[in-house]
C-alpha cells in the first residue's frame, strides 16, 4: 500500500509548483519585477543617494535599526513556530482524532501525520535561515552606511557607485526577507494538507491569490508606481 494516495501526491506537487513558480515569477520575470517588491528597489537607490547628501545620518541608522528589529522578530517567530511543530509530533494521537472529526477531514496514519509535520518543520527552518541572513545583511548595510563618503564628496563618481552598491545590498536583504515571509504564507496554505489533499489545493490557491493581489493590485502598489 502506498504511503500517500495519488491525490495527496498531486496536491503536494501543486503546492510545491505554486511556491516555486510564484517565487520565480516574482524574482526572475519582467512582469514580476513590476510588482511591489520590485518597485521598492528604486526607493532604496533614492534613499542611499539622499543619504550621501546628509552630514548627520542618524535617521538612516534608525531606519536600518527598524528593519533589523522587524527581521529579528520574524526570525524569532519562525523558531517559535518550529517549536510548535515539534509539539505536534508529541501529540499525534490527539491530533489524529481531531483531524478526522470534520466532515471533510481525512483519516491518516501515524507515519503520514509525522511526515506532514516534518514537512511543516522544514518550511519554518527555511524561513528562519532566510530571516537570519536578511538580518545579517542589514548589519552589513549599517556598516556600509557608517563608512559612506562625506556629504562634501556626494557628487564624486566613487561616492555614487558606493551608494548604489549599498542599495543593492539592501535589496538583497529585502529579497531574503521576502522569501522568509513567503514561506510563512505558504506554511498557512500547507496546513490545509492536515485536513486532506483537496483542502491543500484550495488553501494553496487562496494564498496565491492573496499574494498576487498584494503585489500587483493593492493600494500600496498603485501608490508606489504613481510616485
Domains contained in the chain, number: 1
Q: What angle do CA 37, 164, 70 make, to 5 degrees?
A: 45
Confirm whether 39 is domain-assigned.
Answer: yes
Residue 1 included in any domain: no
Cα distance between residue 24 and residue 185, in whole Å:
16
Q: Which domain holds residue 26?
A: 6-226
Does the global pTM surpass 0.85?
yes
- Is 80 within the bounds of a domain? yes
Looking at the predicted structure, is the pLDDT value of residue 88 above 90?
no
In a domain, 183, yes or no: yes
In a domain, 123, yes or no: yes
- pLDDT reading at 15 higher than 90: yes
Q: Report if residue 154 sits inside a domain.
A: yes
Confidence check: pLDDT of 101 > 80: no
pLDDT digit string, tens, across residues 51-84: 999 888 899 999 999 999 999 999 999 999 999 8
CA 107 to chain centroid, in Å, comes to 32
* Lowest-confidence region among 13-17, 122-126, 132-136, 193-197: 193-197
Residue 212 belongs to a domain: yes
Q: How far apart are CA 185 and CA 60, in angstroms?
A: 30
Amino acid at each position: 500500500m502506498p504511503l500517500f494516495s495519488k491525490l495527496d501526491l498531486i496536491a503536494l506537487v501543486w503546492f510545491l509548483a505554486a511556491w516555486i513558480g510564484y517565487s520565480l515569477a516574482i524574482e526572475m520575470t519582467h512582469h514580476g519585477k513590476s510588482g511591489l517588491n520590485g518597485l521598492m528597489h528604486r526607493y532604496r537607490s533614492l534613499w542611499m543617494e539622499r543619504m550621501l547628501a546628509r552630514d548627520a545620518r542618524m535617521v538612516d541608522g534608525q531606519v536600518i535599526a527598524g528593519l533589523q528589529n522587524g527581521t529579528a522578530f520574524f526570525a524569532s517567530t519562525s523558531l517559535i513556530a518550529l517549536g510548535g511543530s515539534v509539539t505536534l509530533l508529541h501529540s499525534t494521537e490527539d491530533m489524529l482524532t481531531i483531524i478526522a472529526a470534520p466532515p471533510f477531514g481525512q483519516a491518516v496514519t501515524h507515519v503520514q501525520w509525522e511526515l506532514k509535520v516534518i514537512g511543516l518543520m522544514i518550511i519554518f527552518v527555511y524561513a528562519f535561515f532566510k530571516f537570519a541572513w536578511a538580518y545579517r545583511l542589514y548589519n552589513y548595510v549599517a556598516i556600509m552606511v557608517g563608512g559612506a563618503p562625506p556629504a562634501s564628496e556626494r557628487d564624486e563618481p566613487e561616492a555614487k557607485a558606493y551608494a548604489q552598491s549599498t542599495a543593492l545590498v539592501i535589496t538583497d536583504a529585502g529579497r531574503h526577507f521576502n522569501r522568509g515571509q513567503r514561506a510563512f504564507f505558504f506554511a498557512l496554505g500547507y496546513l490545509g494538507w492536515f485536513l486532506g489533499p483537496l483542502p491543500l489545493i484550495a488553501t494553496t490557491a487562496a494564498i496565491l491569490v492573496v499574494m498576487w493581489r498584494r503585489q500587483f493590485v493593492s493600494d500600496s502598489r498603485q501608490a508606489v508606481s504613481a510616485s
